[in-house]
Structure 1
Amino acid sequence: MRESIFKLVTDERILILIVGIAILWRRVISYDETVSFCESACSGITLIVMGWVLSGYMYSMSRKPTDWPVTRKIYQGITVSLLVLNIYVAIYYGMRWFRLLHEEIYMPMDFVFRDVRYLMLVLCYCAVLWTARYLKGMRDKYRLLIREEPTSHARSMKESVLWVTMHERTLTVIVVAAILWRTAISFDHTITFRESAVSCIILLILGWFLFGYICALSVKVKRKIELTRVIQGIAFGLMAINIYAIFYYGMRWYILALGMGDVSGTYVPLDYLFRNMRYIMLVIFYCTAIVLSKFLEKAYTDYTVPKKAQI
């Protein structure tokens, strides 16, 4: 019964249906450019349920024994990445429901931005659901075969730069730097266009560098079908978050260019605090996704055989 429900929920047609319903839902509630509390609650509860059920499932799978140890690491990496998104969603809707959050872009355009954010989060969660099906196949169908490690060779310049960039200490420095950066530009309670541009460029570099790396990895592992699908699903979810980040800064700069908003980017205190929190959460999400990509790389280099094979 549980297996049948899992296959049904992770079926491509069901996931497409979920995305289609999400698009129609946001189109209907945004038609009059007003979102009531009940409509916001319905949207928020949907995302919260999807996110926390997914993260709970991934965590439970990471605790189960397996013959391919790296799959547990992949489950853990997805769990942490989902946890970051889930916390962001919970904070956003909590502030929205208690009327602590007022304006994010510029009021006439806020509804468009909210629709895009909602749809991108639904797409991301659906991508993770699709990934879960093939990740379970990796875990259940294959086992790691221990063999003698090849003699290590000197890293090329490209490999060395990549290793340093994706090291846990480097990622920790990136997160701390992001916190310090947002703290530094928050002293005068304004965000200039230049400061906004620097923030955006950092996110673009992190997000699209990682997306390109994962896409390149999916090409290398084409002989491992389940792993290829897992990587493609993660890449799709990452792309959805990247589009969300680009859309926010694109709309923000468009409003500033037209002079429709405050050029200095002055916000009420809680709105301003939320923007800092969102930026830091996105940086943390990208850093956790980079760690996850290292586990995917490890899965590619592992020598595995089907469990039924006789060695």
Structure 2
Amino acid sequence: MWFKNLQIYRLSAPWTVTPEQLEERLAAQSFAPCANLDMQSQGWVSPRDNGMLVHTVNKQMLLMLGTEKKLLPSTVINQVAKARAAELEEQQGFAPGRKQMKEIKEQVTDELLPRAFSVRRSTRVWIDPVNGWLVVDAASTAKADEVFKLLLKAIDKLPVQNLRTERSPQAAMTDWLSADEAPSGFTIDQDTELRAVTEGKATVRYVRHALEAEDVQRHIAAGKQCTRLAMTWADRVSFVLTESLAVKRLAPLDVLKEDADKSAFGEDERFDADMTLMTGELSKLLNDLVEALGGEAREPH
């Protein structure tokens, strides 16, 4: 149930779409598998395999975007097209031109697509109307953009904006390491990345390695900035904060796992209890993280 990566966005206005209204609007973009000549298909799927596209617990909403993609590498297309071009050259006495070669590749693609293997993946979305968060469980902004592309078809004026803080994560993380002191409520763990701002972008990474204050301070004095930092929040959740204000490798710690073990018995009740626990903890984590970064950036007048 727990998200593994957080692409974090702010609701820029009160969320007024009810779960029932959202369900109805998402239905128009529900997932359908790739047709024979489709390279990719995307649409909304049920987070609980019960036919419902919006799963709601305590006003918290969970959505899931499904993606199916055909595996047809360009090297395969080029290889088959090259063989076809050689046959055609033998028949007509001269090599195919650019236009004819393009047509051959298109024909080969159409022939191979129906037989191509496909892979499916899903991207989960958490909407928190109470605390004003929209979070995508994705390691990259590109995956989050796929979510917004379809959400904008369902909600014409989607009240979402990028999260901006008074201090950049890079500057704040560098200061925390330089002072050898984590912000209140957090501890610094053993993974970090320091990168020079010069053209060469020389990079030093510590992986499961104790951070010696003197070594880190020496790298910072030489002009490197912290771009990734492993941290723990309130002894409850571990994660890696990046320079783009994304959270990666999110994991609940033992104290939360123990809470979850006691929470429910049936599968549905257990899922809802896990969702309640996750959304409750993450909303607090996000608030504390924003505070550690100087609060949200004020809009310029």
TM-score by length of structure 1 reads: 0.24
Structure with the larger strand share? 2
Higher relative contact order (CA 8 A, sep 6+): 1
The structure with the larger Rg is 2
TM-score by length of structure 2 reads: 0.24
Structure with the larger helix share? 1
